[in-house]
Amino acid sequence: MRELGSCVAPISGEHLISESVIEVLQGEGGFSISGVPWLAKGEEKILSKKSLRANCLCTKHNSSLAPIDEAAKQLFRALKIFLDSDVGEPRHVLVSGHDIERWLLKTAKALAVSGNLVHNEKRLSGAFAKDISLVDMLDDPTAWPEGAGLYCVMNEGDLMVNHSRFQLVPWVETAECRDEIVALQVSILGFIFVLLLEQVDLEKYPLLGRARYRPGRIEIQHPKSVSWVTISWEDNSFHATLKVQHVKHLAADQANGKAR
């Protein structure tokens, strides 16, 4: 954010994954992470909410980005509650999709600049593609390139397991002898999303041709109730509904669902 010329010292300790989100995901149990350079490939580790901190934002910008942390907390709290329990009555939450995209971008950038992203078992430098204006995208939802943003890459019939693991896998391109991040694949609470940070090119990213771009609603079906998370977008486009049907409990705090 230093290019804005409006930083206010000191640089403050920032949770690389928002503390409020970690608190939601861990619940009464643990919060786990995988895909970081200091873990072996395929390994995951349970962390406390005090873990994964770095001095990467000044006090002013840390405070100014707090609303998108709150939006992420609201989304993941609703999803966790709706997936975990069947109360016999409908529940509904409304969140801003643009805020969720911006939270994922902020989280990815913080993980990148602190050296906590890896590709092909190699620690990334933290560089993003040159034509991506991250500061503008964090500040203004209309600054995102055409087709950039959040995609759900799950298909009808896919099985998902509701768990507290957070995994972020960068998609990279090699330019000028360095790897640059162009997108991020995110796994959270059993959902799999891709956040594309450049203009969409389906020849380059064929996986996204079958994905749901900027879903407008997540509908969670239990035997006794249906709950919804409505995701609002200010882009005058159609936004599909993702349907998740509860199948069975695997453990006290886990459920198996089917994405539709």
The model's pLDDT over 149-196, given as tens digits with 9 standing for 90+, comes to 999 999 888 888 877 777 888 898 877 667 888 999 998 888 999 999
Over the stretch 73-120, which tens digit does the pLDDT of each residue have?
Answer: 999 999 999 998 888 888 999 999 999 999 999 888 888 877 777 777
Over the stretch 246-259, which tens digit does the pLDDT of each residue have?
Answer: 887 765 444 444 44
In the 8-state DSSP scheme, what is residue 50?
Answer: T
For 211, the 3-state DSSP assignment is coil
Integer CA distances (angstroms), 9 to 53, 61, 138, in order: 18, 10, 20
What does the pLDDT read at residue 79?
93
**What tokens were used for 141?**
């939802």
Cis peptide before 10, with omega less than 30 degrees from 0? yes
- Who contacts 160 (Cβ-Cβ below 8 Å, separation ≥6)? 154, 190, 191, 192, 244, 256, 257, 258, 259
Over the stretch 14-36, which tens digit does the pLDDT of each residue have?
Answer: 556 777 777 777 765 555 665 56
Q: How many helices (H) and strands (E) does the chain have?
A: 5, 17
Residue 72 has pLDDT above 80, yes or no: yes
If you compute the radius of gyration of the chain from its CA atoms, what whole number of angstroms results? Answer: 18
Mean pLDDT of 199-218: 94
Q: pTM (2 decimals)?
A: 0.81
- Who contacts 10 (Cβ-Cβ below 8 Å, separation ≥6)? 58, 59
Residue 71 has pLDDT above 90, yes or no: yes
Over the stretch 39-57, which tens digit does the pLDDT of each residue have?
Answer: 666 666 666 556 665 555 5
What band does 124 get if pLDDT is binned at 50, 70 and 90?
confident
What does the pLDDT read at residue 120?
76
